[in-house]
A and B are shown apart, each in its own frame.
Chain A
């Protein structure tokens, strides 16, 4: 089946630094990638939708200058948390939607990246 990876799996950083999280579709091309934030035992909160080669669409309340998204290719999207603060500590999950073939509505989820800001 389709595999989505994230790197790093966990990161600890100091307040004020920037952190980049990568999301890759390993065996398929993804027209669209989604970035979510998850709080313990809660629903995934959609942060933004990124389409290859175009600007990301951010959900209301998500600061686009703080959470920079780059969808440079059909297999890679990156989320950069700029000037991270402790309140940004969370579990970030990406998902990817296939380009073509099969069920193009299916999202394949990554394993998540746990960010801790000290």
Chain B
């Protein structure tokens, strides 16, 4: 079956760095998405990786290794507003999105 795994919850300190991992097993691969979702709001697009490597966008970076079925989202210089759920989703060979359950990130002062 298809599966996306990411940690349920992580805690980090304001100003620090945190890495949220995502591993996947899907039938085919057409890209991996990271979204940020604050409680009660729609998911906000953060990144899309389809080739191996690191993509940096400001304080957020996303890494992909297709051979390992692995991605991570790296958040630097954490701010309190970064407290949210982070969703990993993979688009399979049928262009369907397979979603992880999300990682709830708690930022402490």
Contacts and interface: CB of A to CB of B under 8 A. Distances in A.
Please indicate whether A and B come from the same complex rather than being unrelated chains: yes
Q: Which of B42, B95, B96 has the most CB of A within 10 A?
A: B42
B98 to A, nearest CB: 7
Contacts of B99: 108-109, 111
A1 interface: yes
Interface residues of A, number: 22
Nearest to B9: A103
A28 interface: no
B44 A43 contact: yes
Interface residues of B, number: 19
B89 interface: yes
B87 A9 contact: no
A38 B96 CA distance: 12
Contacts of B37: 107
Contacts of B45: 41-44
Nearest to A113: B96
B54 to A, nearest CB: 18
A112 B43 contact: no
A32 B35 CA distance: 21
Given A9-B94, A111-B96, A112-B96, A46 B42 contact: yes
Interface of A: 1-2, 9-10, 34, 36, 41-46, 93, 105-112, 114
Minimum-distance CB pairs A-B, first 9:
A111-B96, A46-B42, A109-B99, A43-B45, A43-B44, A44-B43, A112-B97, A44-B42, A41-B48
